[in-house]
Amino acid sequence: MSNRKSDVEVFDVAVVGGGASGCATAYNLAMAGASVVVLERHDLNTEASGRNAGSLHGQIQHEPFLEEGEEWARAWIPALRFLADSLEIWDGLSDELGTDLEVAKRGGILVADDPAQLPAIERKVAIENSAGIDSRMLSASEIRELAPWLTTDAVGGELCPIEGKANPLLVAPAFAQRATDRGAVLRAGSPVEGFREEGGLHYLRTPRGEVAARTVVLAGGDGMPALARHFGIDLPISSGAVQVSVTERMEPMVSHLVYYAGGKLTFKQAKAGTLLIGGGWPARQNAAGEWVVNPESLRANLAMAVRIAPSIADISLLRTWVGIGNGTPDHSPIIGAVPGRPRVILGFYPYMGFTAAPLMGRVLTDLVLERDPGRDLTPFAPDRF
């Protein structure tokens, strides 16, 4: 329950951002008995959390591994462990939230179709194993046994059994529903445009008026740099529009999350039977400056998918959409209080924040409630850049 200070509602915590991270945080806080308001500038789950490809990642991504190298990968292990620990929460999340989130964790396969791709995968697997991640190399016959639909050009690859998929349209709304069941207040259409501090309270200004809270959690995704700037902190969060496509329904064929070692490609078959095809191909801007589907990216993305899974060539594409993906220079999350402002807490996981959201919600809740989050957050410090 909130109370009032003159005509302003006062909450224990104001969460800015109604994506998966913000809603998971509101849920955990409400379960712990805190009074919570979520302020979302659009509608819930309308940005990255509702537009992503639904992959549940648990391995070092091959593309940054090739680009950034082994030293980067070793330094990135705390962020990898964060994903792995979040993946464990995903196992029981549908039951916990009382909604079928279409979670299936049948593993991820990274497919190589050129023997020259294998040594890098082997080095990557060694680093994953050193971090306690369950992954292993697959021979050509093993990978084709797991995925008989694969191109006969497949020469082997990697299996990471902890990976999978979930339905991004369902996750943030399910967290939000359970949060409101426990008394949290959700305010859509409430862009936070300013902050002030008075008498130990933070006042958040929106066009619909102010709300006050003892603690502020910023879980604003693409809006994080602008939000953090109000507190004098510059976050080097990059922003790039990428696209994802969905096909018509097919007979069950692909049970794994599939990656390709030769380029930007991920795909998986959703519970509905549709194939979600992505991999981070860039969208383009139209004359009005809006992000729209880039047909060249689409062609290249689909050609790659057909190369790996030749039998999908005749399947129709239903829709391609664009979402804004966000990164950090070291690919690690930003988690912790704004320096000098212990009651303003930041939560942002780059590139794979859908996978990370269940744990992000718990860790941010621990920080708000001054509980031990059970992990070293130093590698994620907001002032490390």
Which residue ranges make up the site for ligand FAD (CB under 6 A)?
Answer: 16-22, 39-42, 46-49, 51-55, 57, 191-192, 219-223, 227, 242, 244, 278, 323-325, 348-349, 351-355, 357
| Least Cβ distance, residue 65 to ligand FAD (angstroms) | 17
| Least Cβ distance, residue 309 to ligand FAD (angstroms) | 18
Nearer to ligand FAD, 157 or 358 (CB): 358
Nearer to ligand FAD, 40 or 128 (CB): 40
For residue 97, CA distances in Å to 174, 182, 186, 355, 361 come to: 6, 12, 17, 16, 13
3 state DSSP class of 172: helix
| Least Cβ distance, residue 78 to ligand FAD (angstroms) | 17
Nearer to ligand FAD, 104 or 155 (CB): 104
Crossing angle of helices 20-31 and 168-181, rounded to 10°: 30
Give the total residue count for the chain. Answer: 385
Contact by Cβ (8 Å): 24, 7: no
| Least Cβ distance, residue 229 to ligand FAD (angstroms) | 11
Nearer to ligand FAD, 46 or 151 (CB): 46
For residue 93, CA distances in Å to 24, 88, 125, 347 come to: 11, 9, 28, 20
Nearer to ligand FAD, 124 or 187 (CB): 187
Distance between CA atoms of residues 309 and 235, nearest Å: 40
Count of H helices and E strands in the chain? 10, 21
Nearer to ligand FAD, 155 or 308 (CB): 308
For residue 171, CA distances in Å to 94, 187, 298 come to: 9, 18, 27
| Least Cβ distance, residue 314 to ligand FAD (angstroms) | 25
| Least Cβ distance, residue 276 to ligand FAD (angstroms) | 8
For residue 295, CA distances in Å to 59, 281, 282, 289 come to: 30, 10, 10, 17
